[in-house]
Amino acid sequence: MSEQVKTQKGKVIFHEADSRGLANHGWLFSRHTFSFANYFNPERVNFGALRVINDDIVKPGMGFGTHPHNNMEIISIPLRGALEHKDSTGNTEVIKTGEVQIMSAGSGLTHSEYNHSKTEEVNFLQIWVFPKEKNIEPRYEQKMFDLDNNVNRFVNVVAPDNASAVWINQDAWFSLGKFDEGHIASYRLNRNDSGAYILIIEGSAKINDRELNEKDGLGLTDINELSIESISNSKILIMEVPMNYEA
């Protein structure tokens, strides 16, 4: 189910997990929050500067061969397993669960992504954000974030202004958090013109009085703050992005 409504707490866009686009290529099982490849929904093209959220499961030893990108900020977040990355700027890395990778494609590069394991699947989120400045020199960064020792708080993992996070060429902030059942938290947006898209990675939670289950997504605009109540043990990703931008 998809839903768009306006309430006293701002504009709400709800994407139920099962409403996401589906691609099953045998070696790859993917769910698309927004239009991607053969999945197109005119009502689900983007959320502000947020263009793609793909929830990918890749079979052991399989992956995406070398392909090009330009002028896109591409974030990879392994949820289970490890991802092997290689690009034309000379980076060859393994991205493990707990790490966040960003690749600023800028003026153009090529890269490949493979499941690092020959025996176990890898599940990862691939997220695309339109850049603030076009045709910058391509760049790559990844960092480890310890959510287990920061339970019941959000950890900023992507930001344009935080040296502890991976840097993004956009006024965008991504925060991850693991929460115990019953915990109540809040998140204040960094900018008045931002929107927040929330993805429940695990468990269930109530966001601004809206109950969400695993892999449900909620987009909120015209708000300054989020209230989060963890209904069960949960893992939550908040993606704060500009709603007004030039693609």
Encode pLDDT of 165-175 as tens digits. Answer: 999 999 999 99
Q: What is the pLDDT of residue 245?
A: 79
**Pick from 122, 131, 137: which is nearest to 90 by CA?**
137
For residue 64, the one-letter residue type is F
* pLDDT value at residue 153: 97
DSSP-derived 3-state class of residue 42: coil
Per-residue pLDDT, 8? 43
Domains of the chain: 2-135+144-242 (2.60.120.10)
> Which residues, in sequence order, are CB contacts of 150 under 8 Å at separation 6+?
177, 178
Look at residue 52 in the predicted model and tell me its pLDDT: 98
Instruction: Quote the pTM value.
Output: 0.95
Residue 10: its pLDDT value, please? 61
Tell me the residue length of the chain: 247
Half-sphere exposure of 189 (CA within 13 A, CB side): 22
How many helices, marked H, and strands, marked E, lie in the chain? 0, 23
Q: Report the mean per-residue pLDDT for the chain.
A: 95
Identify the segments of the chain with pLDDT beneath 50: 8
First to last CA, the chain: 27
